[in-house]
Chains A and B, each alone.
Chain A
Amino acid sequence: MMQKNQHDSSATLHRSIGEEGFPLLELGGRYTLAAMGRRLHALPAELARHAAEPGLRWDLRGIEQMDDAGAILLWRAWGSRRPDHLLLRPEQERLFSRMEAAPAPPAAVPRDAWWPMMMLGRGILLLWEHLVALVALIGQMLLDVRYLATHPARLPWREISANLYRTGAQALGITALVGFLIGVVLSFLSSRQLQTFGADIFIINILGISIIRELGPMLAAILVAGRSGSSMTAQLGVMRVTEELDALTVLGISHSQRLILPKVLALGMAMPLVVLWTSAVALLGGMIVAEIQLGLNHRFFLDKLPDVVPIANLWLGLGKGMVCGMVIALISCHFGLRIKSNTESLGAGTTNSVVTAITVVIIIDAIFAVVFSNVGLT
């Protein structure tokens, strides 16, 4: 029954001349949010028109039901005060007295004319803040290492091994797939070019140097930054949201020792291995295509590889992998710890963390290229 009446007994207005000759407006029906529904678009104007009429008597006693929304509708039509002549029921009286006591909404803050300057300044300060916090985190890490060197029993082995498994072993599939495909494509494109010069044999040099020195480490680092970096940031972020970080603190367990150091160490160990694996699979892909495309026997390929690619390139690739791994973990943890306890910040923090990690990985690569420019290249 309640349902049926809802629409046909929506808010009504009845204008008439009262007994003493005063204009009278009788309101009836249901002045509730649910009952008014679509009429909410038209009602305010209609009520305002009546409110403009001087000396009008408002009779609200016939209203079946009125909720806050209905009361506010009238209140706004009256210009936030009671009309001079108003007839109410006691419970309606209560509604309107609440309305009178309601606090004024906070004023909107006007936009500063200097906002472009402010934004720029804030951006620079934020960058500085990040740098300081990162340096502090690295310092803390070194202190932890010194402490653990004297208390080896406190080394978080379980966390390290868990992280090693998650960031290393579980990344083997995706890095193999991507590495293999890149090896295939690179080999295919290069062999076509080399064939036109009759320089088929140089495919080994091209694949060997580019994959071992450059592509293997970079592919692995970028994939790991996206995969493990985001999960580390999100993990720390959720621990902030659910107050688990605070729970650790009050138990006297250091975040950096229990959460961050294991991640940094584990990724520092796992990354060279992932790099080795990615490079090997990429070379395999390249080798298969070289055999099909150029008829280069794989035995010959493998025999020749150590001669044309100096071993320094391998060490360079692995070294890059280790540095990138530790930096990715540090950056991810840094962003994870900065997350505030709300979901928006969690999303933004994870994005920033991955973007920063990938950018920094590429910067590290460039630095290695400059510093070791005359190592391993004949």
Chain B
Amino acid sequence: MGKTCIIEVEGLHTRFGSHVVHRDISLCVRPGEVLALVGGSGSGKTVLMRQMLGLETPAAGSIRVFGESLHGHDREALQSLRNRWGVLFQKGALFSALSVYDNIALPMRELRTLSEGMIRDLVMLKLKMVDIGAEHAAKMPAELSGGMIKRIALARAMALDPELLFLDEPTAGLDPQLGEAFVKLIHAMRTELTLTIVMATHDLDTLVALSDRVAVLAEQRIVALGSLQEVAGMEHPFIASFFRGERGQKALGNTLS
């Protein structure tokens, strides 16, 4: 596969009014890797991800996903592209008017190729995958706990078994055991399918367990990009406090030495 990129970001600038969030960012997400975006709160991880999804338009620069520009006008192409990715939003973004079951079934129904019986089996399988019991299937999002919302949103993101998965803070709000289960789940999925993941996270344990490469966002740029070992050793105030602070050392301890 060599140098092909699943996502290709070039010369990206982002501004909100006079507030500059990104200044000349370039990035290539390779097939089958897990790329973690880290950075302080407000450093623009979510915004970068939203731009990769075409939800926001950068002030300058281009983004191509699966080799397609997101601002092209070919509806068919954009739709088939959207069926190949799954997104977990930071706050879940479940459809509040739909039950848990219907939330997960929605992307499958939109395909219009699956029979209702098959959808039912698939939904139950996805629910099982994120460890949600069948008794919760009929509940509405407002009746769920924060962690459950996260897991169901993940199940919806995985509904079409996407090749590319965007995860915004996947383990925030989960208890440590569920966090670990989540990591295992992703590992298992990666053995069965070629899955490329872009994930923004603050959670060092998840980062250590999952990421192949890490991109550090600070000062409006990507200040470091590379494997965890390479990045953690670099000289930068944010990296020093994030990876080599007390918590960082604990989580990284065995990986680095």
Contact = CB atoms under 8 A, between A and B. Distances in A.
Interface of A: 1-3, 32-34, 36-38, 40-41, 44, 65-69, 72-73, 75-76, 91, 94-95, 98-99, 101-106, 241, 340-345
Contacts of B111: 33
A94 B114 CA distance: 23
**Which of B118, B120, B192 has its CB near the most chain A CB atoms (within 10 A)?**
B192
Given A40-B114, A341-B142, A32 B134 contact: no
A75 to B, nearest CB: 7
A66 B192 contact: yes
A144 to B, nearest CB: 29
B161 A3 contact: no
Nearest to B113: A40
B192 A37 contact: no
A65 B121 contact: no
Contacts of B72: none
B91 to A, nearest CB: 11
B31 interface: yes
Nearest to A95: B192
Contacts of A341: 96, 142
Given A33-B161, A73-B118, A105 B137 contact: yes
B66 A343 contact: no
Nearest to B117: A76
B133 A103 contact: yes
Given A104-B134, A106-B134, A69 B97 contact: no
Contact of B113 (A37, A67, A98): A37
B155 to A, nearest CB: 11
B192 A67 contact: yes
Nearest to A94: B188
**Which of A33, A44, A76, A106 has its CB near the most chain B CB atoms (within 10 A)?**
A33
B129 interface: yes
A323 to B, nearest CB: 36
A343 to B, nearest CB: 5
B163 interface: yes
A345 B66 CA distance: 39
B140 A342 contact: yes
Interface string B150-188: 000000000011010000000000000000000000001
Closest 6 CB pairs of A and B: A344-B97, A342-B96, A67-B161, A103-B134, A341-B142, A40-B113
Contact of B193 (A67, A75, A342): A67
Contacts of A345: 97
Contacts of A1: 1, 4
B84 interface: yes
A91 B115 CA distance: 26
**Which of A1, A76, A98, A106 has its CB near the most chain B CB atoms (within 10 A)?**
A106
17 contacts: A33-B161, A37-B113, A40-B113, A66-B192, A67-B161, A76-B118, A95-B192, A98-B129, A101-B128, A103-B134, A105-B120, A105-B124, A341-B142, A343-B95, A343-B96, A343-B97, A345-B97
Contact of A2 (B128, B133, B194): B194
B55 interface: no
Nearest to A240: B142
Contacts of B129: 68, 98
Nearest to A80: B121
B161 A68 contact: yes
B142 A75 contact: no
Interface string B190-217: 0111100000000000000000000000
Nearest to B1: A1
A340 B97 CA distance: 10
B138 interface: yes
A102 B113 contact: no
Contacts of B31: 2
Interface string B102-118: 00000000010111011
A36 B115 CA distance: 14
Contacts of B142: 340-342
B3 to A, nearest CB: 12
Interface in B117-146: 117-118, 120-129, 133-135, 137-138, 140-142
B140 to A, nearest CB: 6
A13 B90 CA distance: 42
A1 B194 CA distance: 13
A282 B191 CA distance: 75
B69 interface: no
A101 B128 CA distance: 8
Given A33-B161, A104-B134, A65 B118 contact: no
B83 interface: yes
Nearest to B66: A3
A68 B118 contact: no
B118 A69 contact: yes
A98 B123 CA distance: 13
B84 A69 contact: no
Nearest to A70: B161
B108 to A, nearest CB: 8
